[in-house]
Structure 1
Amino acid sequence: MPRDTLTREQIVRTAVELLDAEGLEGLNMRSLGKRLGSAATAVYWHVKNKDNLVILASDEVWNEVGLPDLDTVDWRTAATSMATDLYAMIARHPWLVMAFASQPLFGPNKARHDDHSLAVYEKAGFVGAEADQATAAVFMFVLGSTLGLSASVSVNRRLSHGGGNAQALVQEAMTQATEIASRFPRLRARLDSYADADYAAAPEKSFEFGLQSVMDGLEERLTTRLHR
């Protein structure tokens, strides 16, 4: 694709596709240029460097998180919807977890999301710094909940690129982890209780349970304040 027909929007969309397929470690200008059918040097006319491209790509995916109309839903419904959308978005783009850990991420789409989050918790009754704290508490819960998924995707990709049977290698590692876990009484009881239990897997509906527990805690703080 010639330089004069290449757009930043095309580059960013293709970068997201490459990141989804190869992860943060697989993103480079040469691979991106190949996907675009363009020379890597042409990409530099539109983005400064890889870090800049990661910022642009990460901001692009924030568009996937819905922003509920606060005039039609209560704060808890809105907060739960946004957190659930965020979890699903990161699950689709697990490279984002590593990106958060490697550099500051910012942009208009993320800022729009963050601003709406503050509006949600201000509607609930949190004021000033408390609104920021409530927003951060939910965000950190969601981000932490995606760590296992992100790590699993990264490990499988790394094993696949290293040759051999990735599934067999992962299974071998899980077998070793299960053998170690069986030495401890509570973990052994859990493994014995469920024939197909995966030591590393969280129980079904763990995200929903955790999110509602966080929401319960925030609501309790508001209720306590009203009765002081």
Structure 2
Amino acid sequence: MVNGTPTSCEPFDSLSRMPRDSLTKEQIILAAVEVLDTDGVNGLNMRRLGAQLGSAATAMYYHVKSKDDLVVLAADHVFSEIELPDLGANGWREAAATLARGTHAMILRHFWLIPAMSTHLIYGLNKARYDEHCLAVYESAGFVGQDADQAAATVLMFVIGAAQGEAAESARRAQLRRTGADVERHLHETLAHIIEIAQQFPRLRARVEQPGETTDTPPTEATFEFGLRTLLDGLEGRLSTRSVGPR
């Protein structure tokens, strides 16, 4: 520092007037999750993230290599939100259901995770911790080797598929917000168009004209629970009808 002016060798960001090392990697990851939750993967960039943190875009590169690297870090972070059930206190089915529900809820909170998983290899300590516990659940049930891997992967694929519809709607809302469109008006017009198409098919038309019974459980939640119960019934059936193991 010479007469109050930073020299070229000092880690100082000339745009934000904030030392780059005053930011931490954890702060950047948490801010990235907030931006992703609002704007999705397409809305994340270093300039937007810098604005979120009150710093300059260039300061981000002091801790992360690129936007893609940051997406992977953020995705790994949100896996830490999933509660890992105590296998000693719960049967394998209850533990598997708890994991599935926790994963489903996490994906709905972070709609961008599904598109991120389609373009990025998600890995890190939190994801590894989650995968390890999933395998422990199915091994405790009696699955071994590749059967445990396949059981865990099958349930995860179901959870992702069950969350995709709501996640896609959240992603669409984020895209509309970024373009400055009237979100509710656009979604209303889209729904009207979907109903118009459905009217051309008898079974779909019947469901539009006479929706199912009203209950306290949202339809998507009821569908998720039905699918999860059916899937776990199938896995339990495999255990009871034949020996499972490496083939």
2:147 aligns with 130
Matching of residues 69-148 of structure 1 within 5 Å: 69-148=86-165
1:9 aligns with 26
1:49 aligns with 66
TM-score by length of 2: 0.86
Q: Does 1:30 align with 2:43?
A: no
2:225 aligns with 208
Q: Distance in 2 between matches of 1:127 and 1:161?
A: 47
Gaps of 5+ in 2: 1-17
Q: Distance in 2 between matches of 1:131 and 1:25?
A: 35
1:220 aligns with 237
Over 3 Å counting, the alpha-carbon distance change for 1:123 and 1:84 in structure 2 is same
CA RMSD of aligned residues (A): 1.7
1:175 aligns with 192
Which aligned segments of 4 or more residues in structure 1 are displaced greater than 6 angstroms?
A: none
- Structure 1 residue matching 2:242: 3-state secondary structure: helix
Q: Does 1:184 align with 2:201?
A: yes
What is the Cα deviation at residue 155 of structure 1?
1.4
Over 3 Å counting, the alpha-carbon distance change for 1:168 and 1:221 in structure 2 is same
- Structure 2 residue matching 1:122: 3-state secondary structure: helix
What is the Cα deviation at residue 167 of structure 1?
1.0
Q: Distance in 2 between matches of 1:103 and 1:118?
A: 22
Over 3 Å counting, the alpha-carbon distance change for 1:43 and 1:144 in structure 2 is same
What is the Cα deviation at residue 164 of structure 1?
3.7
Over 3 Å counting, the alpha-carbon distance change for 1:38 and 1:166 in structure 2 is same
Q: Distance in 2 between matches of 1:115 and 1:124?
A: 15
1:193 to 193, 203, 210: 210
What is the Cα deviation at residue 37 of structure 1?
1.1
2:4 aligns with none
Q: Distance in 2 between matches of 1:166 and 1:71?
A: 47
1:65 aligns with 82
* Partners of 2:173 and 2:183 within 8 A in 1: yes
Number of aligned residue pairs: give it.
223
TM-score by length of 1: 0.93
What is the Cα deviation at residue 202 of structure 1?
5.4
- Structure 2 residue matching 1:183: 3-state secondary structure: coil
Over 3 Å counting, the alpha-carbon distance change for 1:164 and 1:22 in structure 2 is closer
Normalized per residue, the structure richer in helix is 1
* Partners of 1:2 and 1:38 within 8 A in 2: no
What is the Cα deviation at residue 114 of structure 1?
0.2
Bigger Rg over Cα: 2
